[in-house]
Amino acid sequence: MLRVERLTVRADSLELVHEVSFAIGPGERVGLIGESGSGKSLTALSLMGLLPEGVTASGKATMGGNDLVGMPESRLKRLRGQDVSMVFQEPMTALNPLMRIGAQVTEVMTLHGTPRAQAREKALDLLERVRLPEPAQIARAYPHQLSGGQRQRVMLAIALANQPSLLICDEPTTALDVTVQKQMLELIAEVAPALLFITHDLAVVASVCERVLVMYGGRVVESGPIREVFTRPRHRYTEGLLAASRLTPRGTRLPTIKGSVPPAGQFPGGCVFRNRCPHATPECETVPALTGDGHAHACWHPAD
Ligand SMILES: Nc1ncnc2c1ncn2[C@@H]1O[C@H](COP(=O)(O)OP(=O)(O)OP(=O)(O)O)[C@@H](O)[C@H]1O
């Protein structure tokens, strides 16, 4: 559905993203992880034609027969929201503070040609779809009257309004508290037609995506199914990322807890290392999910 080939992003002579290639099929949920500054956001913004001034993309990104890279702004405007749409980290900067929520959701549809009355009706359906309570009341509210989690749901409703084939989320839950974050992640996983999910949080990517791309220094250094990458990382940088997040590959010791076996209850997310795990539970085959403190943990293997 989306095929990115040798996408390169530059600011003058400085190369910020180097020949990134990947594909996303219909319905697929792909994570894009990597440390701050590794090029995740610029990769996503290239697909939306939203690169900052002075930053340019080359290469190819084909979707539905269109090449999104280098497409004139007038054509991109039509595709944005319809082919690909994006949810950003901070909804307050994306929402218009002076406009009621209902009007903002309606407007994205009328801009794409939906008759106003129909768009208004659909806006209420969308607010309901993103599980906002009392959609009619929310539609009449201004952004500052909603909680951070509710505003992010509104952004998701706006992103889904024109039925895009691909949803891109850039750290959509970073600003939310942990319980709200978990609900939002479940919602995104449920409603996204296909997903490119950007985060630096491995636990989040493990709970939402099936496949992952690891970026480092502007390049994709590793990619594959979550389970494979998280249990058998091939790149040293991925190993480091896993160790730092305590999602360790089999046999890796965590220096901070070396020599002691934490109680089983400490790892409510379960464990991917079933056969070697002293705390093996029926959930152990799953990749660790979110735990209470927002991080994922794998089990500790004293004998490894
Ligand atoms: N407008 C710009 N001009 C020049 N360099 C830029 C510009 N925007 C970003 N960069 C640089 O490009 C690199 C990649 O940035 P990018 O925002 O894509 O990283 P990221 O992986 O998304 O990081 P984060 O997780 O912090 O958002 C960084 O070194 C950044 O400083």
How far is residue 91's CA from residue 105's CA, in Å, rounded to a whole number?
A: 13
pLDDT in tens, 252-290: 333 332 233 333 334 434 443 333 334 434 333 333 332
| Residue 246 in this model has a pLDDT that exceeds 60 | no
**Three-class secondary structure of residue 108 per DSSP:** helix
Distance between CA atoms of residues 160 and 163, nearest Å: 5
> CATH top-level class for 2-83+164-231?
alpha beta
* Mutational pocket test of ligand 1: of 40, 171, 204, the residue with most ligand atoms within 8 Å of the beta carbon: 40
Which class for 35: exposed (0-12), middle (13-18), buried (19 or more C-beta within 10 A)? middle
pLDDT digits (tens, 9 = 90+) for 179-218: 788 888 889 999 999 999 999 888 788 888 999 999 998 9
ipTM score of complex: 0.94
| Substitution candidate for ligand 1 out of 9, 38, 170, 174 with most atoms within 8 A of CB | 38
- 36 C-alpha to center of ligand 1: Å? 8
Residues 68 and 47 sit within 8 Å (Cβ to Cβ): yes
- Residue spans of the domains in the chain: they are 2-83+164-231, 95-159, 246-304
Q: How far apart are CA 212 and CA 233, in angstroms?
A: 11
Ligand 1 closest atom vs CA 42: 18
What DSSP designation does 37 have? T
